[in-house]
Structure 1
Amino acid sequence: MTSHDVIVTLTTDFGTQDGYVAAIKGAMLSVAPEVRFVDVTHEVPPQDVMGAAFVMRQAIGHFPEGTIHLGVVDPGTGGSRRPLAARFHPPGSDREHIFVGPDNGLLSLITDDPPVRTVVLDQPNRWRSTRASETFHGRDIFAPVASHLASGVPLRDVGTPTEEIATLRWALPRADEQGVEGWVVHVDRYGNCITNIPRETVDAHRAGRDVSVYAGSTIIRGMNASYGDVTDTEPVAVFGSSGSLEVGVNRGNASTLLSLNRGTAVRLVFDSQPTRARRLTEIG
């Protein structure tokens, strides 16, 4: 595989106001001029590792075998955290991809299984000709490594094998026969509030009963298939494209209108018996 065939995705908290993203791409193109870039996002909230992981999980499983994912959300840049590269499988995929980024838990959050192979990027003479800045490892460490990997350099040649990586875990919802309790883990551009409550967990306990969704001070009676199933500005609960419960407002911003943010508790309560009444939405 040549660099012409390789896709490199970029996920950062750099924004687009400054020249940081361009500097990373320039450093890579200097080594692998035919690499293809895909910007996942550069709008991750500053230093928000879990926010970066959520967005990456939304996207990376749709890319082909051999895609390289550069994830640079790095609160510990210049500190003791290690730089890594790893072969891994995205969630629900048997394709093998490569991650390049800091050892701060990001890798553990974007895959459900241990990496196939991981190396610590401690062999700079193999992929860098200049001294690395202590404040811009994205440009001076991660970009050169990714570009050499895109050019066909084996993973084993850019670092030393390791079995240990920093680990973070997604918090799981709590479920019983009365309902499921979780919280908002991501607010998207439209203000839709995505929770950590997957459809499978709800289906396993629901037993055909109707539901009420309690999100902050808002109560939503019943679930809908899409946002457009309710009238304009009405709150709605759906299972979104991620497969998890979302709280939204049709043609409105749920985060703003309902005062919901990341970390807000959301509880889905099963009714004691199915109801046939017209669906109601209450806002406290």
Structure 2
Amino acid sequence: MIHPIITLLTDFGSKDHYVGAMRGVILGINPLATIVDITHHISPQNIVEGAFLLSSVYTYFPQGTIHLAVVDPGVGSKRKPILVKGENFFFIGPDNGIFGLIYDQLKKISVYELTNAHFFLKPVSATFHGRDIFAPVAAYLSRGVSPLEMGKETKNFQRLSLPQPILEKKRIRGKVMYIDSFGNLITNITVNHLKKLENAPGKIKIRENIISGLSKNYQEAKKGTLLAIIGSSNFLEISVREGSAQKKLKSQKGDDIKVY
């Protein structure tokens, strides 16, 4: 692969030089690489949020894409740097659960602990493995270097424990998992969960507010009112037409939600 796509997902923000440094390292090793920014505005150190967003977007890229994810509160510790090989994609980042949802989605994976310092930038900073380990490894991988040349396969890697919805015959209890920039409350309840209810969702309750049924689109609700809708990632979302559900409800991640 000479003209690969390498995506970047981090909690670095856009104010500082960190993302630019990673881009520079990648292009210094493979000037033909195409770098795509997924987001650099993951909430600081929020591994669950990073895992959710990465798992929601990676399949939309061409086969062979290398996804580099750095949400790394344990940088410089004993946590391993890893490379994950799936059937159609590669993932590079810290072994801290950031790829946990992807492990659950892929039928076959191989995980490699990155141990060959020949492919690292030197000296390796204790606080910036994104620049010194993950970026160069992604670049070398894009040039055709085998994962086995850069590390050793391991069966010992971190998964991610997320709150799962509680399913009963006539109701589902879930939680707000993520809040996007529009103030939409994205829950951990999927379309498939809703299909298991004996009856179609009649009401959705959150913070003592009750919403009747699901809307097919935002226009079905009056301006400024709450609605429940299936979002583009197939999760149940609570929204406000032309407004912010987060602000209206003073909601936060982890809030309870009940469908019945």
Distance 1:253 1:21, change over 3 A: same
Secondary structure of the residue that 2:162 maps to in structure 1?
A: coil
Question: 2-side partners of 1:202 and 1:172: how far apart?
Answer: 13
User: Does 2:213 correspond to 1:222?
Assistant: yes
Q: Which residue number in structure 2 is paired with residue 186 of structure 1?
A: 178
Secondary structure of the residue that 2:115 maps to in structure 1?
A: coil
**C-alpha displacement of 1:190:** 0.3
**C-alpha displacement of 1:128:** 2.9
User: Does 2:117 correspond to 1:124?
Assistant: yes
Question: 1-side partners of 2:96 and 2:121: how far apart?
Answer: 26
**C-alpha displacement of 1:66:** 0.7
User: Quick one: which amino acid aligns to residue 193 of structure 2?
Assistant: T
Secondary structure of the residue that 1:110 maps to in structure 2?
A: helix
Structure 2 segments unaligned to the other structure (5+ residues) = none
Q: Which residue number in structure 2 is paired with residue 44 of structure 1?
A: 42
Among candidates 256, 259, 268, match of residue 250 of structure 2: 259
Secondary structure of the residue that 2:76 maps to in structure 1?
A: coil
> 1:109, 1:169 within 8 Å by CA — same for their partners in 2?
no
> 2:121, 2:136 within 8 Å by CA — same for their partners in 1?
no
Secondary structure of the residue that 2:242 maps to in structure 1?
A: coil
Secondary structure of the residue that 1:206 maps to in structure 2?
A: coil
> 2:121, 2:133 within 8 Å by CA — same for their partners in 1?
no
**C-alpha displacement of 1:179:** 0.7
Question: 2-side partners of 1:18 and 1:114: how far apart?
Answer: 38
Question: 1-side partners of 2:27 and 2:55: how far apart?
Answer: 26
Residues 14-56 of structure 1: CA deviation (Å, up to 9, x unaligned): 0010000000000111100110011000000000001001111
Residues 221-263 of structure 1: CA deviation (Å, up to 9, x unaligned): 1211111111100100111111111100000000011122110
Among candidates 229, 246, 249, match of residue 240 of structure 2: 249
Distance 1:115 1:164, change over 3 A: farther
> 1:86, 1:115 within 8 Å by CA — same for their partners in 2?
no
The alignment's TM-score, normalised by the length of structure 2, stands at: 0.96
Structure 1 segments unaligned to the other structure (5+ residues) = 90-95, 270-284
Question: 2-side partners of 1:71 and 1:218: how far apart?
Answer: 36
Kindly report which structure 2 residues correspond to 1:115-154, keeping only aligned pairs within 5 A, or say none.
116-125=109-118, 127-128=119-120, 130-154=122-146
> 1:54, 1:110 within 8 Å by CA — same for their partners in 2?
no
Sequence identity of aligned pairs in percent?
36
Question: 2-side partners of 1:171 and 1:79: how far apart?
Answer: 26
Residues 58-105 of structure 1: CA deviation (Å, up to 9, x unaligned): 21011111100000000000011010011025xxxxxx1101000001
Larger Rg: 1
Number of residue equivalences = 259
